[in-house]
Amino acid sequence: MAVEWAGSGPELLIAIDREGGAGLRSQLEDQLREAVREGRLAAEERLPSSRELARALGLSRGLVQDCYVQLQAEGYLTSRPGSATRVAAGAAARPVASTPETPPVPPRHAIADFRHGVPDLRLAPREDWAWAVREVCRTAPNTAFDYGDPTGERRLREVLAAYLRRVRAVAAAADQVVVCNGMAQALGLVLRALAADGVDALAVEDPGAIGSTTEQAHAAGLTVLPVPVDEDGLDVAALERSGARAVLVTPAHQWPTGVVLAGHRRQELIAWARRHNGVIIEDDYDAEFRYDRDPVGSVQGLGPDCVVSLGTVSKSLAPALRLGWVVAPDRLLGALAHGKHVADRGSPSLDQLALALLVESGRYDRHLRRARAEYAARRETLVAALATHAPGLRVTGLAAGFHAVLHLPAGADEDHVIEQARRRGVGLHGLARMCHTPPTEPRLVLGFGDTPRRAIEAGIAAIADLLVSGS
């Protein structure tokens, strides 16, 4: 299918040499023929109007019209009254392979996909975001359209610091905030800053986010050391034995088990960091979505001198916005600012200002309340469906976020259950793939963030026997 360009004069690369011996019309004809033969101009693609091409090349319109007539006679171009001049359907001698137009790909899982880590993209506040962008474009000074501070727009850093103090009990000032392109860049910048400071190993939770974290650590030149997680969160005694000087934790809602890092473990973790001049990297990935208990404050608030806090709007708004932040101790700020400058000279300024306006206006909080209510309803739907179709199976990790952990019967084969469910049109995801060391029990991670309530019910009903039998 040919691309349809808007307007009457899509640009076309033609170079006319007025100093050479060839005539102007000959040059134009030869270059258009070659463009068709080489596939730069595809079959059915529209050419600029004779008026636009003449203006762009500084030629007479009559010369261009004569050229088009000649190439039509040769079969390279075609034209109908009232329609643009186009490349003839069979003109190209060496056509460029084109991607055939294909129908929409059907869902991989016809009934339900309990994938995790993704919010409901239908809840993205499109109108609010469009309003914020329009307001910023209308009111921002001209300087906002220039390269900005690589650490982020001052206004957003002030707003984020105030928001995090209010909602997450983070001890933050604007100067401690570095705005990034999402969580992945934030973590990468921190790990490279730590490597430059002499850190050679990163301790990570086990189970945890194995793939992406391991890649980031290795890219920064760090060894990854798994540390077990129990019902109180990260085992700080095991962390002590690992010899690491940096650790990545998800204390508010451990990924993927969902446990909260206990109060005494938080104190032990801070003491470990200060004893070893270590750094705690706190991933606050879905702390906004808590249901059964009061919100859990940030570990950073207990030890701002040794904790780096990472946050993002990927879960609260949408991953496509690619906006996140780092709140860091003074000793890392210089390296983070330099790393961000080298990486991309700063995240998009207008998007940063739009996010600041969204938070300041109260629309961000309003969106979170709506989203939280919807996820809570889906959580209840999942719990009810499991109670009906798979009674007796334990469900944990439900206090926050939008995933739960389902404990399968002892001896169940995780991979077999997942494969059988796939054949029935239901997507399941095993916890074993998130473990560095083999797990002691089979478990599934059931995401409900991007799974509608009706699909949750139908999906659990379709695989009830698999869950109960574990085979």
Q: Which CATH class is domain 1-102?
A: mainly alpha
223-230 and 201-206 as β-strands: parallel, antiparallel, unpaired? parallel
pTM greater than the 0.85 cutoff? no
Using alpha carbons only, what angle is made at residue 246 by residues 243 and 250, rounded to the nearest 5 degrees? 120
* Bridge partners, 395 (sequence order): 406
Amino acid of residue 159: V
Residue spans of beta strands (DSSP E) within 233-301: 233-234, 246-249, 279-283
Poorest-confidence range of 39-43, 104-108, 241-245, 297-301? 104-108
pLDDT at 40: 82
pLDDT at 15: 80
Q: Which residue has the higher pLDDT, 460 or 37?
A: 460
Average pLDDT (257-274) is 95
Calpha distance 204→33 (Å, rounded):
60
Compute, in degrees rounded to 10, the torsion defined by CA atoms 143, 144, 147, 148: 110
CATH no. for 112-119+367-469: 3.90.1150.10
The secondary structure of residue 308, as a DSSP letter, is E
Percentage of the chain surpassing pLDDT 70? 93
pLDDT at 104: 52
Token pair of 137 as six digits: 């474009």
Amino acid of residue 245: R
pLDDT at 163: 94
pLDDT at 440: 86
pLDDT at 89: 84
The secondary structure of residue 176, as a DSSP letter, is G
User: What is the average pLDDT value for the chain, to the nearest integer?
Assistant: 90
Backbone angles phi, psi at 386, to 5 degrees: -70, -40
Average pLDDT (257-265) is 93
pLDDT at 368: 93
Calpha distance 93→83 (Å, rounded):
24
Q: Where are the alpha helices (DSSP H) in 43-125?
A: 50-57, 61-73
Place of tokens 């179709």: 389
Calpha distance 308→239 (Å, rounded):
17
pLDDT digits (tens, 9 = 90+) for 331-390: 999 999 999 999 999 999 999 999 999 999 999 999 999 999 999 999 999 999 999 999
CATH 3.40.50.2300 is the classification of domain 124-361? no
pLDDT digits (tens, 9 = 90+) for 10-31: 567 788 888 777 788 888 888 8
Q: Where are the alpha helices (DSSP H) in 330-433?
A: 330-344, 349-360, 363-389, 414-423
pLDDT at 38: 83
Max mean pLDDT range (107-121, 149-163, 293-307): 149-163
Backbone angles phi, psi at 309, to 5 degrees: -105, 130
pLDDT at 3: 52
Place of tokens 């000279």: 345
Average pLDDT (296-309) is 94
CATH 1.10.10.10 intervals, the chain = 1-102
Average pLDDT (286-302) is 80
CATH 3.40.640.10 intervals, the chain = 124-361
pLDDT at 178: 98
398 close to 292: Cβ distance less than 8 angstroms: yes
Q: Determine how many CB atoms are found less than 10 A away from the CB of residue 441.
A: 14
pLDDT at 432: 93
Specify the DSSP element, H or E, that contains 468: helix 464-469
Is 90 exceeded by the pLDDT of residue 8?
A: no
Using alpha carbons only, what angle is made at residue 395 by residues 393 and 399, rounded to the nearest 5 degrees? 165
pLDDT at 91: 79
CATH 3.90.1150.10 intervals, the chain = 112-119+367-469
Average pLDDT (264-274) is 97
Percentage of the chain surpassing pLDDT 90? 69
Using alpha carbons only, what angle is made at residue 348 by residues 344 and 350, rounded to the nearest 5 degrees? 160
pLDDT at 240: 97
pLDDT at 400: 83
First to last CA, the chain: 47
Is 80 exceeded by the pLDDT of residue 324?
A: yes
Is 50 exceeded by the pLDDT of residue 106?
A: no
pLDDT digits (tens, 9 = 90+) for 151-205: 999 999 999 999 999 989 999 999 999 999 999 999 999 999 999 999 999 999 9
pLDDT at 165: 93
Residues 6+ apart with CB under 8 A from 132: 354, 355, 357, 358, 361, 363
378 close to 116: Cβ distance less than 8 angstroms: no
Q: Which residue has the higher pLDDT, 178 or 39?
A: 178
pLDDT at 50: 84
